[in-house]
Structure 1
Amino acid sequence: MQLVVLAAGKGKRLRPITETRPKPLVPILDKPLIYWLLKRAKGIGIERSIIVVSYLKEQIINTLSTYINELGVDVKFIDQKEELGTGHALMRASNFIDDDALVIYGDLFINGEVLRKVITRGVKCNKLVISGVEVEKPQHYGVLVIEGDKVMDIVEKPGEQVFSNLVNAGIYYIPHRLLKLLNLIQLSPRGEYELTDLVKIIRNRGEDALLVTIDNKSWMDIGRPWDIIEANKRALQYQLMNRIIKGDLDRHVTIKGPVYIGEGAKVKAGSYIIGPVYISEEAEIGPNAYLRSYTVLGKGSRAGFSVEVKESVIFENVRASHLSYIGDSVVCEHVNLGAGTVIANLRFDNRTVRVMIEGEKVDSGRRKLGAFIGAKVKTGINVSIMPGVKIGSRAVIYPGVTVYRDVPSGAIVKENWK
């Protein structure tokens, strides 16, 4: 059995996070998303992996090289070169697949039992197996057309013409004998070779594509910025059960619940931490900081004097040195938040927060949601950022500015941004 991870996409819906890193490197508990896929696969006995890359491929290759020995896996990288869809990506990898393949989209956060369930069905029947999962908003996915336990078709992003909540979960078992059929996939109206078209090809040959339904509590698609918050929250809920302290604590630090504090991290006097919270290596907390549940603080980051962080994912080397509030937000690497920077996370009318995604206002479904701040952003003192705002990488926000709408990458904002 070989694992094939399709990790070539640009992740445009995750902007500004993916302006400076590919989706597979989005951090979950300070380790890249693709690390967890390889770890789950290794946990059920799959040690050989092929990863198809393209966008920011060097980052993926270089980052994973630091984990391969730890994971004990053999990884081969294939450059898709032209981003022509999931079918094309698997075609590029097929010459290097010498066994049955477990194919996974590279933006999934799942547990090992999901993979085991798909493999068990595939090995038993020696047929194509498609995973399905029920979601609340199926119009954004490929919706499955099923009869009993058979997949008859996959309708990509049907819009408002939704006929089922059961969608393609992005995990396939493909017997080696069927890989040659990939060459029969035709260019779609979207200008891509769609892996999902393999279902029709196989059915036209008189074979069945089988369905395996998986629990949506064991599966997440990291497709929109707030999914990063939810994925880290799930990881904390299911993986951090105890208190693990490897760093240094001053006197008069209060810790409640499960908390991980990595090597070289420092928690200064007066700080208050309510778990589950994950504090990575070399991070610095306090003095008098307040870290609330479901916070993840990346390697080398600082939540300094009188800084409060609630249910947020803060990447590596972020500086929030004094008097800031970060709520329900994602803050990318090397951001510097000036004193008094406040990220609001609640609308006055208590309605759910909407976020601009590729030119369309999308309802996050979350009543509390803060901001998404790209890499190397700088804010001056007393900056206020409204709920659902995205700030592009390398933007500069001058002191005293209130940010009401998205800020483009590299922009310099000197007055209120409405």
Structure 2
Amino acid sequence: MQTVVLAAGEGTRMRPLTDRRPKPTVPVADRTLVEHVVDAATAAGASRVVVVVGYAADAVRTALADRPAVEFVRQPRQRGTADAVRAARDALDDAPFAVLNGDVLYDRASLERLYESGPGVGAARVEHPERYGVLQTDDDGVVQGIVEKPADPSSDLVNAGAYVFPAAARKWLDVDESDRGEYELTDVLARACEAGTTRAVTVDRWLDVGRPWELLAANEWRLSELDRRLAGEVHADADLRGPVVVEGGAAVDAGVVIEGPALVRAGASVGPNAYVRGATLVGEGATVGHGVEVKNSVLMAGATVGHLSYVGDSVLGRDVNFGAGTTVANLRHDDDDVTVRVNGEPTATGRRKFGVVCGDGVKTGIETALNAGVVLGTDARTAPGETVTRDRDRSI
């Protein structure tokens, strides 16, 4: 099955983490997000993979550089998903083709079923279908249509963003512009549904990684699949429990306790006397110093939490540096879900515990306290002893 992977978008809802990288290249365990998508497609039986790039295209190409079977096409302007597939049209054979989003995780078995289904769309049952495109199906599971974000959903079965189209769909990509000024792949799906042969193929597991807390969820998923492997330097007095991976070139010092699932990537260092627990990624060249506790968090490449600090349920971008004694709050006193501002709008994370989001290059002064749900923009700074309760876009 020839497969198109859409990886041209910027990912504005993931800002500030995408200020300096496209969303498909954010880290999920030992690979970028788009690598997971391409690898799942290949394992499920993709005969060839065409990746559509656009925003920060070179970063996507670099991420996939060691996969020689991958081809790239460029979408000059990001004008919607149908326009993205249209950019790949000339690269496709005159045969059925699949389309996957480069920022959605799928399990392999579900993709295999989709590839074997003939014309089909990945379908998932969700708690809040009003947030998605709701699929309308008959008693045999044939898709009759799709309604985008309905106020009163007719079912809880939604579009999971994975498709198999007939060869004829290459000619259906010249759709009309939508009300929001884009060319939508769902309009192509509607055309496919008119033939009466497009089936809803239920996926076992999928995750749309659009916002920072969903990046945490993605890492929780993929880190849970780790097998214990200690290739790096681990001190005899360190205590590593459960599925922990220490890559070659990483170091774990004396007095460290790591409770898996956790991944310490090449060039990273942990300790002495540090505590890492929950689903935690310590990225390449990152540092978790003396007396630091990190819980259920993502530390991207080069991030440093030097000493005597606490980081919980948080995402730290590349080259973040937390001053000594920096403490992250990750729980509201009223026990409601933590909210985070996304594109300027307060948005519920669905998480009772969530800490902070730090863009690349953030630096905190010593003894900084960061409130739950705070977002520090790229290169933001805090003063020594400061308590930060509101988002900060720039340096003090």
TM-score range, shorter chain: over 0.9
Structure 1 stretch displaced more, 281-290 or 351-360: 351-360
Question: TM-score with structure 1 length normalisation?
Answer: 0.91
1:214 aligns with 2:197: no
8 Å Cα contact 1:6/1:53 also seen in 2? yes
Letter in 1 for 2:32: P
Equivalent position to 1:351, from 315, 323, 336: 336
1:144 aligns with 2:135: yes
1:389 aligns with 2:374: yes
* Residue matched to 1:118: 114
Deviation of 1:153 after TM superposition, in Å, equals 1.7
In the alignment, the residues of structure 2 paired with residue 319 and residue 24 of structure 1 have an alpha-carbon distance, to the nearest angstrom, of 23
1:365 aligns with 2:380: no
Percentage of identical aligned residues: 41
In the alignment, the residues of structure 2 paired with residue 256 and residue 130 of structure 1 have an alpha-carbon distance, to the nearest angstrom, of 41
In the alignment, the residues of structure 1 paired with residue 47 and residue 291 of structure 2 have an alpha-carbon distance, to the nearest angstrom, of 46
C-alpha deviations, 1:77-104, integer Å up to 9, x for none? 1111111100111111111101321110
Specify the SS of the correspondent of 2:91: coil
Specify the SS of the correspondent of 1:90: helix
Letter in 2 for 1:412: S
Deviation of 1:342 after TM superposition, in Å, equals 0.9
In the alignment, the residues of structure 2 paired with residue 295 and residue 211 of structure 1 have an alpha-carbon distance, to the nearest angstrom, of 35
In the alignment, the residues of structure 2 paired with residue 4 and residue 384 of structure 1 have an alpha-carbon distance, to the nearest angstrom, of 45
In the alignment, the residues of structure 1 paired with residue 244 and residue 190 of structure 2 have an alpha-carbon distance, to the nearest angstrom, of 49
Deviation of 1:225 after TM superposition, in Å, equals 0.9
Deviation of 1:300 after TM superposition, in Å, equals 0.6
1:230-245 maps to which residues of 2 (within 5 A)?
230-237=217-224, 239-240=225-226, 242-245=227-230
1:139-178 maps to which residues of 2 (within 5 A)?
139-148=130-139, 149-158=141-150, 160-178=151-169
In the alignment, the residues of structure 2 paired with residue 203 and residue 131 of structure 1 have an alpha-carbon distance, to the nearest angstrom, of 14
8 Å Cα contact 1:267/1:286 also seen in 2? yes
Specify the SS of the correspondent of 1:305: coil
Deviation of 1:400 after TM superposition, in Å, equals 1.2
8 Å Cα contact 1:271/1:287 also seen in 2? yes
In the alignment, the residues of structure 1 paired with residue 384 and residue 17 of structure 2 have an alpha-carbon distance, to the nearest angstrom, of 24
* Residue matched to 1:125: none
In the alignment, the residues of structure 2 paired with residue 387 and residue 175 of structure 1 have an alpha-carbon distance, to the nearest angstrom, of 47
1:283-322 maps to which residues of 2 (within 5 A)?
283-322=268-307
* Residue matched to 1:8: 8
* Residue matched to 1:254: 239
In the alignment, the residues of structure 1 paired with residue 127 and residue 314 of structure 2 have an alpha-carbon distance, to the nearest angstrom, of 22
Deviation of 1:135 after TM superposition, in Å, equals 1.7
Query: Gaps spanning 5+ residues in structure 1: where?
Result: 123-127, 414-418
8 Å Cα contact 1:47/1:74 also seen in 2? no
C-alpha deviations, 1:112-163, integer Å up to 9, x for none? 11110101111xxxxx3111111222222212122221212222223x3333
* Residue matched to 2:99: 103
8 Å Cα contact 2:165/2:192 also seen in 1? no
Specify the SS of the correspondent of 1:322: coil
Distance 1:176 1:382, change over 3 A: same
In the alignment, the residues of structure 2 paired with residue 136 and residue 283 of structure 1 have an alpha-carbon distance, to the nearest angstrom, of 39
The Cα RMSD (Å) is 1.4
Deviation of 1:203 after TM superposition, in Å, equals 4.3
Question: TM-score with structure 2 length normalisation?
Answer: 0.96
In the alignment, the residues of structure 2 paired with residue 358 and residue 154 of structure 1 have an alpha-carbon distance, to the nearest angstrom, of 26
Letter in 2 for 1:96: A
8 Å Cα contact 1:30/1:315 also seen in 2? no
In the alignment, the residues of structure 1 paired with residue 114 and residue 104 of structure 2 have an alpha-carbon distance, to the nearest angstrom, of 15
In the alignment, the residues of structure 2 paired with residue 202 and residue 291 of structure 1 have an alpha-carbon distance, to the nearest angstrom, of 49
8 Å Cα contact 1:291/1:309 also seen in 2? yes
8 Å Cα contact 1:152/1:199 also seen in 2? no
* Residue matched to 1:412: 395
* Residue matched to 1:416: none
Specify the SS of the correspondent of 2:18: helix
Deviation of 1:63 after TM superposition, in Å, equals 2.4
1:33 aligns with 2:23: no
Specify the SS of the correspondent of 1:17: coil
Deviation of 1:47 after TM superposition, in Å, equals 4.4
Deviation of 1:54 after TM superposition, in Å, equals 1.0
C-alpha deviations, 1:281-303, integer Å up to 9, x for none? 11100010000121111011000
Letter in 2 for 1:28: V
8 Å Cα contact 2:3/2:98 also seen in 1? yes
In the alignment, the residues of structure 1 paired with residue 223 and residue 120 of structure 2 have an alpha-carbon distance, to the nearest angstrom, of 31
In the alignment, the residues of structure 2 paired with residue 203 and residue 176 of structure 1 have an alpha-carbon distance, to the nearest angstrom, of 14
Letter in 2 for 1:199: L
C-alpha deviations, 1:201-225, integer Å up to 9, x for none? 2345x4432211112xx21110111
1:49 aligns with 2:55: no
In the alignment, the residues of structure 2 paired with residue 389 and residue 150 of structure 1 have an alpha-carbon distance, to the nearest angstrom, of 44
In the alignment, the residues of structure 2 paired with residue 343 and residue 120 of structure 1 have an alpha-carbon distance, to the nearest angstrom, of 47
Equivalent position to 2:172, from 173, 181, 184: 181
In the alignment, the residues of structure 2 paired with residue 17 and residue 343 of structure 1 have an alpha-carbon distance, to the nearest angstrom, of 18
Letter in 2 for 1:107: D
* Residue matched to 2:310: 325
In the alignment, the residues of structure 1 paired with residue 160 and residue 78 of structure 2 have an alpha-carbon distance, to the nearest angstrom, of 21
